[in-house]
Amino acid sequence: MYCVLQLLADPIIHIAITIAFLSVRVSIIPAPLVWLFDKVMFVSEPLWQLLEALGVVFFIMEISQEAADHMDDQPGLAKVRFSD
Type of residue numbered 77? L
Type of residue numbered 43? V
Going by C-beta distance under 8 Å and a sequence separation of 6 or more, which residues neighbour residue 27? 34
Of 7-21, 37-51, 61-75, the least confident: 7-21
- pLDDT of 4 reads 56
pLDDT at 5 over 70: no
Q: What is residue 82's three-state secondary structure?
A: coil
Confidence of residue 83 (pLDDT cuts 50, 70, 90): low
* CA dist., res. 26 & res. 15, Å (int): 19
pTM value > 0.75: no
Tens-digit pLDDT profile for residues 21-30: 777 777 777 8
